[in-house]
Structure 1
Amino acid sequence: MQSNLFTTVLLPLALAIVMLGMGLSLVPEDFKRITRYPKAVVIGTACQVVLLPLIGLLIALVVPMERAIAVGLIVVAVCPGGPSSNLMTYLAKGDVALSVTLTALSSIITVFTIPILINLTLQHFLEESAAISLPIGQTMLQILLITLLPTVIGMVIRYYFPDTARRLEKQMARLAIGLLALIIALLLVREGSKLPRFLVQVGISVLLLNLLATLAGFFTAKLFRLPLSQQICIGVEVGIQNGTLALAITAGLLNNPDMAVPAAVYSLLMYITGFFAILYGRKVSTSASVKA
């Protein structure tokens, strides 16, 4: 995929809109929660930043797939939680405040971890393909500009113009979803001839990544005896990745449509599995309320 309007404008614009929308929902108080319940924040962040990439690497090594597909899968795994996780956590009766905190924190941390981990992945799987190496400094700057900057702008608007922010938040969310759907559709149309071959490989690996990530987050939180609402939150947060960022990195920064296939499939699949996570969360939350 050559550098064009799709990769240089649409992808970064879509991600910036998503992050601006998330910024409109954040206030400084969201970050103060880190000191209130550090245990849940540490566990959730560790699952997102450490455990999830390890799960992605394990799947890439065990499930037979092309090397470019393996790199794309790991790119999905090293990305932060997606803004959609906040909505899904709310619908699943999880801890929304914790979800917002984890999404914001992982977005900041992964600005620094993404370039390093992706470079290691490229060296391992595509050691002969030096042409697609990822410049760490340049990548950090690009991610800062299209993720952190819009988030900060959104927070500033929310702080000084709260009523305007609340009105814009819903519109930005709809626009972001529409742009993500358009990106996925364009990517699938452009690479349609390769899809049957890729879906055989990607379908299994992407489903494994999504399910194992969600289960790992949920049961890790359960192991450390966190409240049910926080177990649900961490399960959803680890299972819902920032598909737009993964698409921007693979199709835009790395300029490789093959690597972008896992991100496109994951961005669709996570909403389907997320629906069942919502049903489960509401069921167990209702049962817990009745028992209480």
Structure 2
Amino acid sequence: MDSALTTVALPLALGIIMFGLGLSLTPGDFRRVASAPKAVAVALTCQLVILPVVCFGLVKVLDLPPLLAVGMMLLAASPGGTSANLFSHLFRGDVALNVSLTAINSIISIISLPLITNLAINHYDLGDSVSLQFVKVVEVFAIVLVPVTIGMLVRARAAGFATRMDKPVRIGSAVILAVLVLGILIDQREDAAGYLADVGLAAALFCVISLVTGYVVPRAAGVREAQAVASSMEIGVHNATLAIYVAVEVLDSTQISIPSAVYSIFMFAFAALWGVVLTKRLARSAQPA
């Protein structure tokens, strides 16, 4: 991929997205976790335990090439994306829970993302060609957490500005991700068809499983409907930009970024379709017998 895109545009894009997340956060979002401990605990269990295990099973069953398999595991380890809040709002989810989950999971992923990714790298014996070293992890999450902190400070001092910027930043984040995906596919155009054939099924299945698991498991655990919808969107709509950044900038492998790019193609469409299904289900359950 062109060096200007990777060294300037990609970090800047991630910074803008995380700044936008910060504009939507307050310290109360972290404290709110205590008011819904079951919903948070179940969602985080799905995100941090169930999905990586499911993803590993998928890449083994589908026999993905090692670099694409590592890319899938990197995606599975990535926290929820800012667009999850928008989908949750559209489909009657508990948006406050989304915001809290995104905030908490972004912090936890400082440990979980490199742990899961390095386990995948070691499993496929790729340590000689790619590695996620601690110093690089610190750099990545400085790029993530510093803009979030700045965004929170801006919100604390200029709440009106933060509110006005919410929608433009969300739209901009989606556009940025689309440009990144296009750039990756153009960069890998000679092999793009093969990559899509290799990882398309895995990405599509993982997206569906993520969305459904994020709803079904919380509901089975007794979590409220609106919170289960929020959990579903949080777990199904990953921060693909972060995964792409780690793959390209830290692991220095555009191939590892391919699963996140392909997942992004499915992610928004599947989340919207799933949201419609959940909305119809909610409407039916609200009707008198």
Distance 1:87 1:34 in 2: 20
Q: Distance in 1 between matches of 2:194 and 2:172?
A: 32
Aligned residues of 1:81 and 1:106 also touching (Cα < 8 A): yes
Partner deviation per Cα, 1:259-279 (whole Å, 9 max, x = no partner): 111010111210010111120
Contact 2:211 2:271 in 1 (8 A): no
Please, which runs of 5 or more residues in structure 2 have no aligned partner? Answer: none
Q: CA deviation at 1:53?
A: 1.0
Match of 2:73 in 1: 74
- With over 3 angstroms needed to count, the CA separation of the structure-2 counterparts of 1:274 and 1:128, relative to structure 1, is closer
**Alpha-carbon deviations, 1:201-237, whole Å to 9, x = none?**
1111001111111122211111111111112111221
Aligned partner (choices 204, 208, 222) of residue 205 of structure 2: 208
CA 1:287–1:10: 2 relative to 1, 3 Å: same
Paired amino acid for 1:224: A
Aligned to 1:147: 144
Tell me the equivalent position of 1:227. Answer: 224
Secondary structure in 2 aligned to 1:178? helix
TM-score normalized with structure 2 length: 0.96
Could you state the TM-score of these two structures normalised by the residue count of structure 1?
A: 0.95
Q: How does 1:83-122 map to 2 (within 5 A)?
A: 83-122=82-121
Asked if structure 2 preserves the Cα contact closer than 8 Å seen for 1:69 and 1:202, the reply is yes
Report the AA paired with residue 92 of structure 1. Answer: F
Q: CA deviation at 1:129?
A: 4.4
| Aligned residue in 2 for 1:22 | 21
Partner of 2:129: helix, strand, or coil? helix
- Separation (CA, whole Å) in 2 of partners of 1:128 and 1:223: 39
The Cα RMSD (Å) is 1.5
Q: Does 1:35 align with 2:34?
A: yes
- Deviation for aligned residue 1:62: 1.1
2:277 is aligned with 1:280 = yes
Amino acid at match of 1:102: L
Q: SS where residue 291 of structure 1 aligns?
A: coil
Identity of aligned residues (%): 32
| Contact 1:47 1:216 survives alignment (8 Å) | yes
CA–CA separation in structure 1 for the residues paired with 2:15 and 2:151: 10
1:183 counterpart residue number: 180
Deviates more, 1:241-250 or 1:277-286: 277-286
Conserved in 2, the CA contact under 8 Å of 1:92 and 1:280? no
1:268 aligns with 2:265: yes
Any stretches of 5+ residues in structure 1 without a counterpart? none
Contact 1:188 1:195 in 2 (8 A): yes
CA distance in 2, matches of 1:121, 1:74: 7
**Count of residues paired in the alignment:** 289
Confirm or deny: 8 A CA contact 2:82 2:170 kept in the other structure: no
Determine if the alignment matches structure 1 residue 247 to structure 2 residue 244: yes
Q: Is the CA contact (8 Å cut-off) linking 1:250 and 1:257 kept in structure 2?
A: yes
1:259 aligns with 2:253: no
